[in-house]
Structure formats: C-alpha cells, structure tokens
Amino acid sequence: MLSVRQSCSRDVYSLDGLWDFQIDPTDLGNTDRWFATGLPAPRSMPVPASYNDITVDNAVHDLVGLAWYQREARAPRRLGSYRLILRFGSVTHSAVVYVDGIEVVRHDGGYLPFEADITDLVTPGQPFTVTVSVDNRLSWQTLPPGFIQTDVSGRQVQRYFHDFYNYAGIHRSVLLYTRPPVSVVDVTVTTDLAGEDGLVRYRVEAPGAEQVSVRILDQAGVAVAEATGSTGEVRVRQAHRWQPGRGYLYTLEVQADEDTYPQPFGIRTVEVKDSQFLINGEPFYFRGYGRHEDNPIRGKAHDDVSMVHDFELMKWQGANSFRTSHYPYAEEVLDYADREGFVLIDETAAVGLNVGLTGGLFGNQDQLVTFSEQTVNDRTRDVHARHIQELIARDKNHPSVVMWSIANEPESSSEESRAYFEPLAQVARAADPTRPVSYVNVMLSPPHLEKCMDLFDVIMLNRYYGWYVDTGNLADAEAHLRTEVAGWVQAFPGKPIVFTEYGPDTLSGLRDLFHRPWSEEYQVDMLDMFHRVFDEFDQVVGEQMWNFADFQTAPGIIRVGGNKKGMFTREREPKAAAYAVRQRWQAQARKEGSR
C-alpha cells in the first residue's frame, strides 16, 4: 500500500488530536451498533496514542476487549470528481471503521496501514462522523498470538508469549486525503548499479490510466531522467548511491493522467555472498539494536519528538542499523531511516510462535501459564502469509530496508516448524526477490537441533549466555558462546551471522564493585564479552544488542517495572554501557570511514 504523500493532485488532512473514547460495556457494539447515536459517556483520548497509560483507570489500562473511538470530520469543500480516502497508519490489533454509522473497512494486524474510499458517503463541505472499534485481543490466529483466560472474579486476562506489553489503540496518524478518480495505486522501484550509473526499474499500477510517465528528481529536485509507460528501466548517470550513514534519496515522480505521486527511493544494491552481507557490493557490518516503539505515557504511539531524539542517540553511539523488533514500525520511522542512511531489518509481528507445541506449561520468561489448545495452525500460517505480503507491499521501496525478518524466536527445531516456515519463506521471496529473507533464532534451537535455517539467507541469533544461562559467570558464558558460534559456522558455512539480541537486564544506577548481574558494570562486561567473541569470527557480520531502551512488559517476577536490558533507560538516559559501547562503535565507524 502506498504511503500518503502530498502532491499537486493530492491534498492531505490530519484527523489526529482528541477523539471521544469509551470502552464497550457489552462487547456487542459491532453487532447492535449502540454507538450510532454517539458514545453515551465519552472521555477524551489523544490520537495517536496507546490508550492504556493515558487515564488512571484500571478498566482502561487492563482492558481485554473492545474500545470505541469517535470524532467528527469535515469533507473538503471542493471535491469535484476527486475521491476522498480515510487512512489509518495502524490500529492495534484489529479495527472496524464506520462513517456515519456505515461500515467502511475492517483490518486485522496491529502494525500495518489500511484505508477506505469514503467519497460516496460524504457531502462536500459537510461534517461526518468517524467511529472506530479497536479490539486488543490476541488469539491463536493473530500475530502475535495469545489466548485469554478468565480469572476468579470473571475478568478476562490476556496471555501472550512475548514480554513487551500489549499496548493498544490508534497508534499512528489518521489521515484524510484526496486523489483523482484515476490514480496511482501502487509503485515498485528496484535499483541496480552499472559502474558509476544507477539502473532504476519501476512498475506503476494505475487502473484505467491512459498515460503513465515518470521523472526522476535528484535530492535537489532537479530532473535527471524520465520515461513513459507503466513499466520501464531508466539509467541515472553518475548516480548518488544510497549508502549506510549517508542516505541519498531520489524521487520517482509518477504521472498517471491527472494524478501525480512522488515516490522516494535510493539507488543501492543488497546481496548475501560468501558469508558477507554486501551493500553496494561492499561488506556491511550491522551495529545497533533491537528496539521497540515504546515510550512513557504514549505507549506504542508514533511521535516525531521521540523518533528524532532516538535517532540522535543512535548516531551519537555510532550505530548504523536496527531491527524493527517485533513488528512493522511507523512509516515515518522508515522514511526517516531512509533520509539518515540507517540500515533496517524489517520484521513482521510474528513473535512468540510455538509452532510444534500442542498445549503444555509455557513460560514467557515472565509467567508460567498452562494451556491445552493447539497453538499455531494452518490458519495462523495463512494470516502470517498475509502479514508478510502486507509488510513487503508497504515497505518495498525503502532503501533503508535490507532484509525481511519473518518471525522472532519461533520454535524452530521440529519438523512441524519446518513445514510451517517453508511456504512462508517462498511467500516472502515471491513478494520481493531483491532482498534476503530470514527469521530470528532462539537460544533453544542451537545448530544441532535447528530445522529451519537452511531455508533462509542470514543466521540471526538471540543469545543470552551470561544472563538466562551461565548467570553471573562470564567465563562459562564466553566459552559456551564461542562453542556455539563455531557450531553455526560449521553447520552453515557461507551464511553470514548477525547477533540480533544479547545483553543482561540492568538497573540504571545500580553500581557494584563485584560486577554482579543487574549492575551497570555487569552490562558493560557482558556486552564486552560478546563483542570479543564476535571479533573472532569473520562470519559474524553484525551486532544488534537487546535493547536500545528499557521497555514496558507484562507483569512478571523477573521484570521490575519492565524489561531493563536497555542501553538507555525508558526515559532515554544513558547507562554506563552506552558510553562503553559508543567507544567501540565510533572506533569501528572511524575505521570504515578511513577505508
């Protein structure tokens, strides 16, 4: 799905701000439409925001069920033959949207956009009501998966297999935009290098358009090439490459009859070859973090203030990349990464998939939970396939995205898991033949148990030697880590290895002469130990520690106010490791710069 971009044929209006909000007292609103005459007892809720931490009401904070949002909007006065589209950046986890009481769209999947053409339901210049029901429930067929239990008081409790808190609400901007009756609905740009030149292949979908043409504008807005037709290949002479640390963006300005759509892109190549990860033909070493969209009060909402500040902190550290763990991030974040030259591993919301398990006692590191149902099944896989396709459709033109991660830490040592993932790897490759595809491997599936990795291009590993195992014993931890990396090298020669998680929980301000776990000293030591081992193996081409910042979790006996594995606190204050790792990363960056 195309991002919303302004142009001479497209106007954009924001519906962000305060909406009316109310919890569904009956859970039946989508059937009996009790909201049709307005929400009877509304309170104010900002959009975008997670609703959980805004009020001081447990009913809102701990809701398992439906919440309703409503506001008035106004159709543009001069619409003429143009279409009016209502677009949501994301609603977590599923939404049903009504315009003046008429359902216009529903969408499952809390981290991807959706839209509806509402032209025929509005009158130019006149107000109309937008109502959204937001369902935060997770089941075996949602991503991420989860299940619901009822406690002794009859209250529903959501259980899930990931540790980050199940924030919900309208998390990204709500926009109204106009476009001509015949318009661009999809653009795909892929690029290649030919000596100093860039080759730009494009494909435009604009149903019913009689004339399609494109111009390529450089970053200064100067046209450097053009072509006609809905597909083609254009040569950009002496191309500015999009490079890590130096993002250079061109714009493919598409003209389809009356419609103009500006599609930013970068000229660069990505390739996995001989255990290296190549960007523009040169070996790239990933330095950075797994992250979360997580902030005090606003929860998982996108906001530009936190985004720009987080990027400043990452640049200060010398990071060049991050993984969008464990779900697709706001489009604004990807646009900004494109501009800033950050390299992204783009992940689906498939976290906590216990493919081969049917019932059992399950610990998500926080809680022990018993369940008896079959967990993930064929329907889950169909949902998963759709998520992969929607993610790639949304993000395929971002030069910052260099790899698709189709799952985080699934069970991957059974034949069932292999059968589950084989078709999904194909779905990703069919949707995008130009980028590597992989998934992130959990510590429970070392090389001798692993059944899925040969389906993928890059070995991504989350490892916690020194924390969940060998706690407090970094000598053993180092030996075990070294042995395991050697095992991967031997089992999968030629596949690059990126560490996508490692690091201990660390309580900011806890200092300890004996460098014991939870102290800032221990975090410095443990990260240092991992880095020492990484440096011994050429096949290790990246280090993304866990996590950029502390983040909120579900309640549990090993979480004190959330997951504390951050390099920064949740408020973005640096822990001691932030300075120590900065030295290493800045030194690496200087070395690369002098090459």
Binding residues for ligand E9O restricted to 73-102, rule: CB under 6 A: none
Residue from 1, 193, 278, 443 in contact with ligand E9O (CB under 6 A):
443
Angle value at C-alpha 97, between 94 and 102, nearest 5 degrees: 145
Asked if residue 274 lies in contact with residue 306, where contact means CB atoms within 8 angstroms, the answer is no
Return the number of the residue (55 or 365) whose C-beta is nearest ligand E9O. 365
* Residue 105 parent element (H or E): strand 102-108
d(CA 238, CA 256): 28
Residues in region 346-385 near ligand E9O by CB under 6 A: 365
Q: Considering only residues 419, 469, 486, 491, which one is a binding residue for ligand E9O as defined by CB under 6 A?
A: 469
Nearest approach, Cβ of residue 336 and ligand E9O (Å): 23
Task: Confirm or reject binding of residue 475 to ligand E9O (CB under 6 A).
Answer: no
Cβ proximity of 562 and 508 under 8 Å: no
Of 316 and 468, which has the nearer Cβ to ligand E9O?
468
Instruction: Using CB atoms within 10 Å of the CB of residue 69, give its burial: 0 to 12 exposed, 13 to 18 middle, 19+ buried.
Output: buried
Q: What is the CA radius of gyration of the chain?
A: 24
CA pseudo-torsion sign 451, 456, 459, 461: negative
Closest distance to ligand E9O from the beta carbon of 464 (Å): 5
Binding flag, residue 521, ligand E9O (CB under 6 A): no
Given a contact cutoff of 8 angstroms between Cβ atoms, the answer to whether 266 and 247 are in contact is yes
Return the residue of 24, 347, 409, 478 that touches ligand E9O, per CB under 6 A.
409
> Catalytic: 501?
yes
Residue 505 CB, nearest approach to ligand E9O (Å): 7
Active site residue 409: yes
Give the residue, chosen from 93, 162, 291, 396, that forms a contact with ligand E9O under the rule CB under 6 A.
162
* Closest chain position to ligand E9O (CB): 468
Provide the minimum distance between the beta carbon of 182 and ligand E9O in the complex, in angstroms, as a whole number: 45
With 0-12 / 13-18 / 19 or more C-beta atoms within 10 angstroms meaning exposed / middle / buried, residue 371 is middle
Determine the interface stretch with ligand E9O among 202-210, 461-469, 473-481, 524-532 (rule: CB under 6 A).
Answer: 461-469
Sheet holding 197-205, edge to edge: 186-194, 197-205, 231-236
Q: How far apart are CB 541 and ligand E9O at their closest, in Å?
A: 21
Q: Which one of 253, 331, 390, 409 is the catalytic residue?
A: 409
CA distance linking residue 156 with residue 179, whole number of Å: 43
Told to check if 157 binds ligand E9O by CB under 6 A, we report no
Tell me if 468 contacts ligand E9O by CB under 6 A: yes
Query: Is-contact 584 524, C-beta < 8 A?
Result: no
| Contact partners, residue 580, CB within 8 Å, separation at least 6 | 524, 527, 528
Decide: 435 and 268 in contact? Cβ < 8 Å.
Answer: no
Give the nearer residue to ligand E9O in terms of CB position, either 206 or 460. 460
Q: Which residues of 276-298 are buried (b: 16+ CB within 10 A; e: fewer)?
A: bbbbeeeebbbbbbbbbbbbeeb
Binding of ligand E9O by 563 (CB under 6 A) = yes
Tokens 């039946």 map to which residue?
A: 28
For ligand E9O, the binding residues in 8-37 under the rule CB under 6 A are none
Would you give the binding string for ligand E9O spanning residues 306-335, x where CB under 6 A is met?
Answer: --------------------x---------
- 365 vs 588 by CB, closer to ligand E9O: 365
Q: How far is the CB of 103 from ligand E9O (least distance, A)?
A: 35
Instruction: Give the phi and the psi of residue 259 in degrees, each rounded to 5.
Output: -90, 135
Q: Which two tokens stand for residue 234?
A: 């254009």
Binding segment for ligand E9O among 143-151, 439-447, 492-500, 574-582 (CB under 6 A)? 439-447
- In DSSP notation, 200-235 reads EEEEEE-TT-S-EEEEEE-TTS-EEEEEESSEEEEE
Should residue 464 be labelled a site residue for ligand E9O when binding is judged by CB under 6 A?
Answer: yes
Q: Which stretch binds ligand E9O (CB under 6 A): 5-13, 250-258, 268-276, 438-446?
A: 438-446
Among 28, 223, 444, 560, binds ligand E9O (CB under 6 A): 444
Asked if 565 touches ligand E9O (CB under 6 A), the answer is yes
Q: Which residues are catalytic?
A: 409, 501
Contacts with ligand E9O, residue ranges (CB under 6 A): 162-163, 326, 365, 409, 442-444, 462, 464, 468-469, 501, 546, 563, 565
